Amino acid sequence: MRRLIPLLLFWSISASAATLVGQVVGVTDGDTVTVLDEQKQQHKVRLAGIDAPEKKQPFGQRSKEALSDAVFGKTVSVEWNKLDRYGRIIGKIVVDARDVNLSQVEVGLAWWYQQYSAEQSVGDRQLYALTEENARRERLGLWSEAEPTPPWDWRKLKKASRK
């Protein structure tokens, strides 16, 4: 039973939607931030529906800077219903009624993360797909490169080179 309680807690957290409101006090990269809630508790938040270039990838630093400009020091609302395997909240960050996750895709500083699209609403899936398509067509940000390497492929290559 003792092992079942954390599992049930995780399931109950991930099965219901929640909103976290707080101030962004840290930006790790182009798709991860730290939010400080009213109780002064910090929460790592991974932006849902997107995957930004890693810091050492082309456009990685620009992606982090764009996210920082959009959220650092601001009060945000995080709509979420899942924790990842590292205990981070997976959510959509909203500032002044603007979807910050989508903004990263819009300016070509993140990919729409199709692998996890089933976790998005149908409307968000369609909007993120169209937004990425437009950024590609306009050759914005990382799409200015001939063949940008998606971060999931870049991570696999890095992991394989360490072996």
Catalytic residue from among 3, 65, 88, 132:
88
Please report the pLDDT score of residue 158 as a whole number. Answer: 82
Please report the pLDDT score of residue 16 as a whole number. Answer: 61
Please report the pLDDT score of residue 10 as a whole number. Answer: 40
The verdict on whether 88 is a catalytic residue reads yes
User: Tens digit of pLDDT for each residue in 4-14?
Assistant: 333 333 433 44
User: Tens digit of pLDDT for each residue in 106-140?
Assistant: 999 999 999 999 999 999 999 999 999 999 999 99
Regarding the domain delimited by 4-162, which CATH topology (the fold level of the hierarchy) does it fall under? OB fold (Dihydrolipoamide Acetyltransferase, E2P) (2.40.50)
User: Tens digit of pLDDT for each residue in 77-105?
Assistant: 999 999 999 999 999 999 999 999 999 99
Catalytic residue from among 54, 119, 137, 147:
54
The verdict on whether 54 is a catalytic residue reads yes
Please report the pLDDT score of residue 7 as a whole number. Answer: 33
Q: Residue 3: is its pLDDT beyond 60?
A: no
Please report the pLDDT score of residue 8 as a whole number. Answer: 34
Please report the pLDDT score of residue 81 as a whole number. Answer: 92
Between CA 28 and CA 34 the distance in angstroms is 8
User: Tens digit of pLDDT for each residue in 28-45?
Assistant: 999 999 999 999 999 999
Catalytic residue from among 3, 46, 119, 136:
46
Which of the 8 DSSP states describes residue 72? Answer: B
- Reported for 135-142, long-range contacts at CB under 8 A and 24+ positions apart, including other chains, are 135/105, 135/106, 135/107, 135/108, 136/108, 138/108, 139/108, 140/106, 140/107, 140/108, 141/59, 141/62, 141/63, 141/107, 141/108, 141/109, 142/53, 142/58, 142/59, 142/63, 142/108, 142/109
Domain ranges of the chain: 4-162
pTM of the model: 0.87
Mean pLDDT within 2-27: 64
